[in-house]
Structure 1
Amino acid sequence: MKLPETQTILLTRDNGVLHVTLNRPEARNAMSLAMVEELMATFEAVESDAGVRALVLRGSGGHFCAGGDIKDMAGARQKAAEGDREAFFRLNRRFGEMITRANRLPAVLITVLEGAVMGGGFGLACVSDVALAAGDARFALPETGLGVIPAQIAPFVVQRLGLTQARRLALTGARFDGHRALALGLVHEVADSAEELDKKLAELLTQVRRCAPGANRATKALVLDVDQVPMAELLDRAAREFADAVNGDEGQEGTLAFVQKRAPSWAGDRD
């Protein structure tokens, strides 16, 4: 896989895992349009490379993402003042396209949440397959307090937390920490030190590497299509994919490894 050239994110590949670090620490990794485009290019590269087992998304400088970039908003306002009625629409919708792509990413998407997890950062947490959080991370949907709406984020918040909690958080702008995020079901594990957080991430990646890459991709697509595809059609597709998996290389290797009481070949995959 050829990684894109980037300026707002850092990319490092290691043993089937692509580490993506939001890298605008001076702005608490606020989501600029440039960052959105670089993430889109990165996701496109991952989609075409079955060797990427997981993508780990985190932020530099002690923060995950503080939301949208004020400079981009100001730029869109200037364009609107000059007669471009679609400036704000295009800016907001492009973020929606990025988060939708993140949601459907075939690789396992892991978010490591520290510091500010606001607005767009909150949305990214909601589309991750596994979310790890620092106990003192700060979560919020602050949009309505700024006179705007969480337009592209709200549907994913509802899917993650359910309608009742999504309504409360979006309509109050309530702030809460990582432990409360765990209780709400937003994140899966919490750590109270940087060392513990890194340890949990390492353990999680070990678990992911025990799973067959193709089986993981097919399983993720299957669960994401629940409520999107009629149930009978979905189960027919699942049965076909199960039969293909059983007779495929991964199914045969997994069965043989189980009988021989050894790790399957993919558990030791390296770049």
Structure 2
Amino acid sequence: MPAVNVQVNAPSGTIQLTRPDQRNALDRSAIEELSQAFFDLHQEKQVRGVILTASGAHFCAGLDLKQMHQTASGDPQSALGAWHDDWTQLRDLLETMLRFPKPIIAAVDGTALGAGFGLALAADLIVATPSASFGVPAVRRGLISGVVSPLLCFRGGGKTAARMMLTGEQIDAAKALRLNLIDEIVDADKIWVRANQLVVDCAAAPAEAIQLSKRLLNETVGETLLMQMSVGAAMGATACTTEAAAEGLAAFTEKRDPNWP
């Protein structure tokens, strides 16, 4: 079954994560499909903006920890190469979103954690339901949110990023709104309609002006962001090779509390 569903309802295109049984966690195939979906909607001239949403009770629980545990269980040298490839793949997806010439609206219902929070932060605007929640809980698994952390700093500031990264705290939509991490809170039955209206609002401006505005934000105000994300990808891969990461991933798979080395 595909991990992503794409629909066009001009002027918007919708990308929906479709792994609800896995809390829409991102494995390698899902990241590839997301990248392809953005490429396809880039080519659709009738699409003036993209809505990123998900099926089920969760927006996205982050990277697929079961797949990560399988990688950690293999040959250490091969695992290091796989970690590097995985983190680079995620970094490239988020860069694709940041460089995407059309506005991206994340419509978040349920949890958006780790890389899932990163997907939302890489969007231009975020609308969320009252039950939405956000966090970067990687430290509680002996890992770091290497690629997401620079985005969190960019969108929310260093103090907010430090608290969320170091404590693994998960915050609700109301607090995320107070911290300016999201733009609006909308009832679940109206969230796609509201996201679509934001696309319509953006489509009232010429496409060239929208594209240049995005470049202004992401390549001037955030001029070092992509470099920081590359550094974060390298650090994220390295963190995956530690004893703490191995224990954290094993504890997740075995559904127990970690016993830190």
TM range, smaller chain: 0.7 to 0.9
Aligned to 2:101: 106
Alpha-carbon deviations, 1:72-125, whole Å to 9, x = none?
Answer: 202322343474431212112211111111111111111001111100111111
Contact 1:21 / 1:59 at 8 angstroms: preserved in 2? yes
Aligned 8 A contact 1:139 1:178 in 2: yes
2:197 is aligned, of 203, 215, 220, to 203
Alpha-carbon distance in structure 1 between the residues aligned to 2:9 and 2:171: 33
Q: Does 1:87 align with 2:82?
A: yes
Question: Structure 2 CA distance, aligned partners of 1:91 and 1:118?
Answer: 17
User: Is 1:74 aligned to 2:69, yes or no?
Assistant: yes
Find the partner of 2:131 among 136, 140, 163.
Answer: 136
- Residue 189 of structure 1: how far off its partner (Å): 0.3
Whether 1:60 and 2:49 are equivalent positions in the alignment is no
Task: Confirm or deny: 8 A CA contact 1:80 1:86 kept in the other structure.
Answer: no
- Output the TM-score relative to the length of structure 1: 0.77
What residue number does 1:118 align with? 113
2:85, 2:118 → 1: CA distance? 18
Aligned partner of 2:208 in structure 1 is: 214
Change (3 A) 1:88 1:176: same
* Equivalent position SS for 2:56: coil
Q: Please tell me whether the aligned partners of residues 16 and 51 of structure 1 are also in contact (alpha carbons under 8 angstroms).
A: yes
Structure with greater contact order relative to length (CA < 8 Å, sep ≥ 6)? 2
CA RMSD across the alignment: 2.0
Contact 1:104 1:221 survives alignment (8 Å): yes
- The CA deviation at 1:49 is 4.1
CA deviations 1:224-246 (Å, max 9, x no partner) are 221466xxxxxxxxxxxxxxxxx
State the partner residue of 1:223.
Answer: 217
C-alpha distance in structure 2 between counterparts of 1:42 and 1:133, whole Å: 22
1:194 CA drift (Å): 1.7
Report 1:260-271 matches (<5 A).
Answer: none
Q: Which deviations, in whole Å up to 9, do the C-alpha atoms of 1:10-39 show, x marking residues without a partner?
A: 010111311000000001100111010111
Q: 1:52 to 1:80 in 2, by over 3 A?
A: farther
Which of 171, 175, 178 is matched with 2:170 structurally? Answer: 175
* Structure 1, gaps ≥5 residues long: 1-5, 230-271
Moved more, 19-28 or 81-90: 81-90
Task: Decide which structure has the larger Cα Rg and report it.
Answer: 1
Q: Would you say the 8 A contact 2:112–2:135 is kept in 1? A: yes
Q: Residue 176 of structure 2 aligns to which amino acid in structure 1?
A: A
Residue correspondences, number: 224
1:166 and 2:161 equivalent?
yes
Identity over aligned pairs, percent: 27
